[in-house]
A and B are shown apart, each in its own frame.
Chain A
Amino acid sequence: MGRFVARRLLQMIPVFLGTTALIFFMVHVLPGDPVAAMWGDKAADPAQLAAKRHQLGLDQPLLQQYVTYMGHLLTGDFGTTMGQRKVIDVISAAMPVTVRLTLMAFGVEVVFGVLIGLFAGLRRGKAFDKGTLVITLLLISIPVPVLGFLFQTVFADQLKLVTPTVQDSMNFGQLLLPAVVLGSLSLAYVARLTRTSIVENVRADYMRTAVAKGLPRRRVIGTHLLRNSMIPVITFLGTDLGALMGGAIVTESIFNVKGVGNAMYHAINQSDGATVSGFVAVLVLVFLAASLIVDLLYAVLDPRIRYA
C-alpha cells in the first residue's frame, strides 16, 4: 500500500512537468502578440511595447521562458498576470469559490445520483425505473446553457425564489442553483451507472449467500450490494471531481460566479500564459490527487483488489 502510493506520487512528477510544459507552449504559440493587443486598436509606442515585453519576460527565447517559469513555480512563485496582479492572488481568490461550487454540485450528484440509481436498480422494469431512464436521458441531452437559463427563468424570474445571478460568490445558499445546474448532468450519469451496476450485482452469488445467511435487508443492500456496485461509479466520480474543479465556464458565466472557469476564460482571452499555466498546474495536482484517491478507494470497496 505504502509503496503503491509512493510509486504513484513519483509518477506524478513527469505527468505534472509534461502537462504544464504542454500548456505553457500551447498558450505561447497562439497567433498574435498579446502585448500589442493591450493597446487595442491603437498602435503602441515601440519603446513602451519593448519595455512591457521585457517586464513580462516575453523577449526571452521560449525555452528559457519555460525554464525560468518552472524555476519560479517550484519555489512557489506563480508569476504575475498581464495586468500585473500576482497569479497566486488570482488563484486563491477563485479557488475557494470553485471548491464551494464543486462540493455542492458533487454532493448533489453523489447523494441523489446514487439514491436514484439504487432504487431504480432494485425496482428494475417498474415505473420508477422507467421514469428514471426518461429523466436522466433528458438531463444528458439538454445542453448546460439551456438548463442554466431555464433554471434562471423559472426560479428567479417566475417564482422569485432566488436572484438571477449569484450576488456573493462565497455564499453557499446562493451557489445552490448553479450547483444543481452544474451537478445535474453528472447526476444523470451517476444514476445510470449505479442502476446498471445494481441490476447486475443483485443476482450475484454473494448476494444470494448474504440473503441465505439471513442478514437483514438493510445490511444486504447497504454493505454487500451497494459497496460492490460502487466501483464503476467511483471511477466516474473521480474524474468528474477533477472536471468540476477545472471550472465550469458556461455555468459560471450564466450565474456570474467568480470561480476558476471565469478566471481562466479571461486569461485565455488575453493569451495570458502565466495565469493559464498557473491554474493548470494547480488543476493537474487536483486531478492527480483525485485519481490516486479513486485507486485507493477501489481497494477499500473490493477486498479482492490489493496494492503492493
Chain B
Amino acid sequence: MPVATRVRWAVIAATSVALVATGCSSSSSSSSGTNANGVVQAWWGDPQNPLEPVNTNEVNGGAVLNMIFTGLVSYDPKTSKASNANADSITSTDQQNWTVKLKPGWKFSDGTTVTASSYVDAWNYGALVTNKQVNASFFQYVQGYNDVAPPTGAPTAQTMSGLKVVDDNTFTVALSQKFSTWPQTLGYSAYYPVPKSFFTDHAAYLNKPVGNGPYLIQSWTRSQKMQLRPNTAYSGTNKPKNGGIDLKVYTDTNAAYADLQSGNLDLDNGIPNSALKTIQTDLNGRYINEPAGIIQTISFPLYQVDWNTDNAKLVRQGISMAIDRATITKVVFTSTRTPATDWTSPVLGDAGGYKAGLCGSVCNFDAAKAKQLIQQGGGIPGGQLTISYNADGPHKEWVDAVCNSINNAMGDTKSCVGRPVGTFADFRNQVTTKQMTGAFRTGWQMDYPLIQDFLQPVYTTGASSNDSHYSNAQFDALVSKANADADVTQSVTDFQTAEKMLATDLPAIPLWYQNGTAGWSSKVSNVMLDPFSVPVYSEITVK
C-alpha cells in the first residue's frame, strides 16, 4: 500500500541539517531565459518541532532554517569545505579558547543588527535544560554546559561560563577540551543567532521565525505550505537566484511525484522508491543521485560476553566479508546507496578525511574467506546471527538480503535471520538499554562535514551514540590527540589512524553510504544537493 511507503524515519530521523551554500558563484546558468522572479514549488514535510535553531534535528525543519539563517561558517555544497560566513574570523592559540569576530553590519530580516549577543544569547538559551531544546547537547563542549544542563536536578546556572561577549562584534568561547576543528562545526543549525524578538515575544516568533539568511518567511500555513522570499536585508554572498521558494507539504511521496510529473511541483527531494526504476526516463535525466553524509552500519553488542572475545572479532570480519554490498545496493536500493569502504562518507572529500578502501579486504565480498574466518572464530555466537531492525522503517528488504548473502556464504539457510522490532521507538529503547543479543542496524547522519563527527560520537568510550559500547583506550587517545592538533591535515591523519583500528575490531560493519536524491521539473535548473542531501535552494534558477 502506497501510504505505508513513507515512514517517519525513512531517512534516519535525527537528521541534522545545516547549510547555506556559500560563494558558489561559478555555477550560475547564464542562459538568457532565466526569470529572477520565478518562484520554485518544492517538496516539504511538516517539521517535527517548533522552528527554533536548537530545537530542530530533522530535515524538514532544517531545510527552512538553512534558508532563513546564515551561521558563523557555511559549507560549500560541492566540497563540504567550511568557510567563514557571518564570522570574520574564528581564532585560537591553544585549540581550546576561541575568539569569534563577526562581520559588522549584518541584519536580521526584521531590521535589527546581528551582534555578538545574538549568538551568545541564542546559545545560552539553547543549552539551558529548562528550555527543552532537542539539540542542546551540541553545546556540551562549551565550558559550563554541565551547570546549565546537569544530568539530574535543576540547573545551577542560567548561562554557560565559557561564553563571553567582548564587544558588539566579538565574543569568546572557552571549551572544556581541546577541539581543533571546532570552528568547522559552527555551520550547524544549532549555532545560528537569534534576534531580540525571539526572547521578547516567543510565541509570535514561532509563528513566523526571523533570521539573517538569504530568505525570509512570508507566510506559513501549518501542515500545508510555507512561502519564502528573498531577504533584502541579507548581507552574505549567497543571494537567491530565484524569486522565492514555496514549500508544499506532502504526506505521501507518491503524491508529490505525481505532481512533479504533471508540473505542479518543481523540486522533489522525497522521491518514492517505486519511482526509482523509471525516474531517468520519466524526468528526462532531470535527476540527481549522489552520496550524502549518511552511513549505514550493522553494530554488534560488545557488552555481551560472547561478542567481546578475540574470536568474535574474526567472526565479525567474516560476517562483513559475507555481505555482497555491490549487488544489494544495486538490486534492493536501485543504486541509491553506495557500497561503503570506510566509516565516514565521500562527502568529506579526501582532504576532509574520507578514504576509500580504508576498511581494506574486510569490506570486500569474499564468500569463501568469510566462511573460513567465521569457522576459525568458532562460529557465530549462539549459532545464529540475528539482525534487529525497526519494522516501521524501510529495512526489511535489505536486512533479508544481507542475511541471504550471509546464508549463501555459509551454505546454511539458518545462519542469519532478520529480527523485526515493531516500532522505531521500541527498537531504540532496546538498543540504548543494552538488550541486544545479536547484531542490529545502526545509521549515522553527520551533523557537520568533519571526520571527527563520524568517529568521536559513535566509537569513543561512553560516547552518546556508541550503541555497540565499543571501548578501546588507544582509539580514544588518538581521537583526543587529533582534537588537540593545531594543524588540520595532521588532525585528519590522526583520526584516520584511529579509524583504521575499527577495521580490526569491527564494532560496526560499514554497509553503504546513503545517497541523496532529487528530481526536478523542466521549469527549473541548476539543482544541487548539499552534503546533507538538502537542495541548495538559493542556487536554483527558474526559466
Contacts and interface: CB of A to CB of B under 8 A. Distances in A.
A270 B465 contact: no
B134 A52 contact: yes
A34 B134 contact: no
A38 B444 CA distance: 15
Interface stretch (A20-28, A237-245, A251-259): A251-259
Interface centre among A32, A50, A255 (most CB of B within 10 A): A32
A252 B264 contact: no
A142 B497 CA distance: 60
B275 interface: no
Interface in A76-118: 82-85, 89-90, 93-94
Interface string A216-232: 00000000000000000
A34 B425 contact: yes
Interface residues of A, number: 56
Contacts of B57: 38-40, 42
Interface in B226-250: 249-250
A42 B132 CA distance: 16
Contact of B425 (A31, A43, A164): A31
A30 interface: yes
B505 interface: no
B251 to A, nearest CB: 5
A209 interface: no
Contact of B251 (A31, A33, A265): A265
Given A40-B12, A47-B152, A83-B47, A31 B423 contact: yes
Nearest to B427: A32
Interface centre among A38, A160, A164 (most CB of B within 10 A): A164
Interface in A7-51: 30-34, 36-48, 50-51
B15 interface: yes
A126 B38 CA distance: 59
B473 interface: no
B305 interface: no
A270 B432 CA distance: 19
Contact of A163 (B136, B259, B429, B457): B259
B465 to A, nearest CB: 5
A266 B251 CA distance: 9
B423 A48 contact: no
Contact of B129 (A48, A93, A169): A48
B189 interface: no
Given A37-B425, A42-B14, A48-B136, A263 B223 contact: yes
B262 A163 contact: yes
B414 interface: no
Given A41-B465, A48-B132, A253 B137 contact: no
A52 B252 CA distance: 29
A55 interface: yes
A258 B392 CA distance: 22
A39 B130 CA distance: 17
Interface centre among B428, B432, B444 (most CB of A within 10 A): B428
Contacts, number: 177
Contact of A47 (B49, B151, B264, B426): B151
Contacts of A269: 7-8, 392
Contacts of B14: 38-42
A255 B1 contact: no
Given A45-B137, A167-B264, A145 B8 contact: no
B41 to A, nearest CB: 9
A132 B254 CA distance: 33
Contact of B423 (A32, A90, A163): A32
A115 to B, nearest CB: 32
B2 interface: yes
A285 interface: no
B105 interface: no
A43 B423 contact: no
B272 to A, nearest CB: 12
Given A38-B48, A41-B445, A145-B1, A165 B259 contact: yes
A256 B252 contact: yes
Nearest to A46: B151
Contacts of A51: 129-130, 132
B368 interface: no
B49 A164 contact: no
B235 to A, nearest CB: 31
Contacts of B2: 145, 149, 253-254
Interface string B427-458: 11100100000000011110000000000010
Nearest to B258: A164
A250 B423 contact: no
B533 interface: no
Interface in B131-170: 132-134, 136-137, 140, 149-152
Contacts of B149: 45, 47-48
B386 to A, nearest CB: 18
A27 B169 CA distance: 50
A32 B428 contact: yes
Interface in A132-170: 145, 149, 152, 156-157, 160, 163-165, 167, 169
A271 interface: yes
B476 interface: no
B1 A163 contact: no
Nearest to A269: B8
A40 B445 CA distance: 10
Contacts of A39: 13-14, 57, 134
Contacts of A149: 2
A258 B252 CA distance: 11
A242 to B, nearest CB: 21
Contacts of A43: 432, 464-465, 467
Contacts of A286: none
Contacts of A255: 255
Interface string A253-284: 11110100011011001110000000000000
A48 B137 CA distance: 8
Interface string B461-480: 00011010000000000000
B151 A256 contact: no
Interface in A166-193: 167, 169
A289 interface: no
Contacts of A301: none
B110 to A, nearest CB: 22
Interface in B383-435: 392, 422-429, 432
Given A163-B259, A165-B258, A258-B223, A271 B425 contact: yes
Given A31-B423, A32-B429, A33-B428, A40 B15 contact: yes
5 contacts: A32-B422, A33-B428, A36-B425, A37-B425, A250-B3
Q: Which 10 A-B pairs have the closest CB atoms?
A: A40-B14, A32-B425, A40-B13, A32-B426, A164-B258, A31-B426, A253-B252, A37-B425, A45-B137, A256-B255
Given A32-B423, A33-B429, A271-B423, 9 more contacts: A32-B426, A34-B425, A36-B432, A40-B15, A40-B57, A47-B129, A85-B50, A165-B250, A169-B224
